[in-house]
Amino acid sequence: KNKIKKMKEIKLDSEVITQCSDALLKFIHNENAKRLKKQLSVQEEQFIILTVHFTPPINSTTGPQQKVFKIPHSLLFKTSSVCLVVKDGLGVIKEKLLVEQTLHPELACIKQVMNLKQLEGQLRSSSKHKLCTQFSLILLDKRCYRKAFPLFGKEFISKNKMPIQVKVDDSLFKSIRNLCSTTQFCLTNDSSCVSIRIGNTSQSPKQISENVLSVVGKKLIESL
């Protein structure tokens, strides 16, 4: 960690990243075309994952840490689903959401609002896997974040779907609109690498490149 801290930033060539992104997108589209010819199912909407390796491993003495970065191009698809979990006041939040969705169409991505008790029930049952696959992003009330966070486990960590905490107050939905343009990763004890969602297959190579450059550099070094 000390060696990494001595670095001010990681310097990257934007042109090379754009070319690599273009090659990756072409490869994915070609693979999908082959699967379609064989009448196999195709996942049209896929995330682009960036893996960063650390030598030596990063030691997190305070346990798992969630890192959130602002990116210029949102990772959410038009069909993405977001789940909002609140500690209490479920009815009031649902009513406010309906109003906000008419004013801000981008909030239509919030498909479900549940309380902490409902979340705990799903995380402690066979519905845990369904919860992980059903939603692209889970937003968790800051007041119950510490209690609920350990229940998510390895599947959510491996798929970069650990919840992001939100403060449930008058600016909740403004905060959510901002969070939809973020990416995250979870730094665990003795991390030798992290995987970060950095783009998706509906974006252009330039957009993916700009997302990479916005995260891998000074921001990433400062977060460790």
Nearest to 167 by CA among 86, 105, 113: 86
pLDDT at 115: 93
Q: In what order do the strands lie in the sheet with 164-166?
A: 110-115, 82-86, 137-141, 164-166
CB atoms within 10 A of CB 134: 14
CB atoms within 10 A of CB 125: 11
- Give the pTM: 0.69
The residue type of 69 is F
Q: CA 86 to CA 163: how far, in whole Å?
A: 12
Beta-carbon contacts of 132 under 8 Å, excluding residues fewer than 6 positions away, are: 155, 156, 159, 161
Tokens of 98: 């309906």
Ranges of residues in the chain with a pLDDT under 70 are 1-10, 41-44, 56-64, 189-190, 218-219, 221-224
pLDDT at 102: 92
pLDDT at 1: 47
Tokens of 36: 């379609």
pLDDT at 42: 64
* End-to-end Cα separation, the chain, in angstroms: 7
Q: CA 175 to CA 164: how far, in whole Å?
A: 11
Q: CA 164 to CA 68: how far, in whole Å?
A: 8
Helix axes of 127-134 and 116-123: crossing angle, nearest 10 degrees: 110
Nearest to 62 by CA among 131, 146, 142, 2: 146
pLDDT at 2: 47
Q: CA angle at residue 161 from 182 to 87, to 5 degrees?
A: 90
